[in-house]
Structure 1
Amino acid sequence: MTFITKFRRIFHTVVAGTATTILVASGSSAAQAAIFTYNYEGYVTELYGAGELLPPNSDLRGVEVGDRISGSYSYDDEVLSPFQPNSAVLTDFIYTIEASDGNTYVETLGNFLGVRANGIVNLDTADITVGINSPVPIYGAISSSEGSLFYSVRNTAIISTFELLVGSAPQSVPEYSSTLALLALTIAPIFLRSRRT
C-alpha cells in the first residue's frame, strides 16, 4: 500500500467522520426543553410573630415593613417534580432581604436556613415553593401566591408583594435525537465504500 493510498483512506475516514458529526449535531432538538430564569423584586408589606399580624412599625429580627426584597429563580421545564403535579424542579433560587437594621439576608437552595433545600415552580400558576424534601428538617419555607411572597421561619412570617421581571430569554437545552444519529451512522459506511471504489 503506497503512501497516497494510505493518505486517501485517512482522508476519506476523516471526511466521513466529519459528516457523521455534523449530522449528529444537527440531530439535537432545541425545541424540546428550555431553562427559564426570572428575577423578582418587591417590598415587605406585613410581619407576623407567633401567628399574629404585628403592628406596622414593628421590627422582626431587623426587618420592617417597607424593606426591599429581591431575587431570582430558574427551572428546566422538562425536569418535573415527582411530588407535585405539573411542577418543575427549581435549578437555582435566590431570596434577598435588605433589612432596616443594615444587614442583607440571603437564602438559596444551597443554603436555606443553614441546610440544602429543594424547590419547585407550578407550571400552571407560576407559584414557587422552597424548603421541601430536605434530608434534614427545615423550620421554614418560602412560597408565593397571587403576587405575595411568604417567608416563614419558626412561627414568624415576612409577607412581601413582588413583581416578576424577565431575567433572561429561555435558553434552549439541546436534546439528543437518536433518529438522525442512526441515519448518520448508516450513511457514513456507504459514503466510505463509494469513495473507495
Structure 2
Amino acid sequence: MSTVHVGFVGLGTMGREMARQLLSAGHRVTVWNRSPEAVRILVGDGAEAAGSLSAALAAEAVVSMLADDAAVESLLLDDDLLAAATTTVHVNMATVSPELARRAAAQHAEHGIGYVAAPVMGRSDVAAAGNLAILAAGETPCWTPSSRSSTPWDAGRSGSANGPRPPTSPRSAPTSCWSRPSRRSPRPPPSPRPTDWPPATCWRC
C-alpha cells in the first residue's frame, strides 16, 4: 500500500478520530493542536508531534479540521506560514463559508499549494468507524504525487463543496453522493442542483 506523510491540524472530537483513521491506514501522521493534551493522546496512538504549525505544513499533504472560518483564517491563512510551507496540498475538512473557501484557494495558489475544500458529513462516532461522507472540491488536478499514486485528485472548483447541500435523512447519504444501493431497493434520483454549483467529488473514508 502506498503511504503518505500527512500533517494533521486540529484534534478536536472529529479531528482526533480522523487522524486515527489515517494512522490505521498506515500513513505517517504528524499532528498539531492548540492544546497539547490532544497531541499527547495521538502520539500515544502512533502519531508524531509537530513542534510548530509550520512543521505540520512540511508534510506531503496537510489535513485540517478546525471549528469555523475564524479558526481557519487565524491559523492557516497567513502569508508567512504559507510561504514557508513545503506541503503540496491542504485539504480543509472544516465546514466553512464558500467565500472563505474561494479566498483560501486563491491564497494557497499564490504560494504554489493546492487547496481542497472537503467538508464532512457525520458525527464523531461515524468518524471513528471510518464512515464519514466527504464532499471535496478543488482545482483539477490539485495533487498528483508521482511516486505514490497514479490517480490525480479530480474535483470541482473550491467553494462548491462548501455551498448548499441537498437535504439528507439520518439514514441516507447526500443525494449528490449515494452510497452503493441495496440490491433490494433502487437508487433514488438525485435532487437537481443550482446551475452555479460546480460538481464536487464525494467519497467515504
Q: Which structure is higher in RCO with an 8 Å CA cutoff and minimum separation 6?
A: 1
- Structure index of larger Rg: 1
Q: Same fold (TM over 0.5)?
A: no
Q: TM-score category by the smaller chain?
A: under 0.3
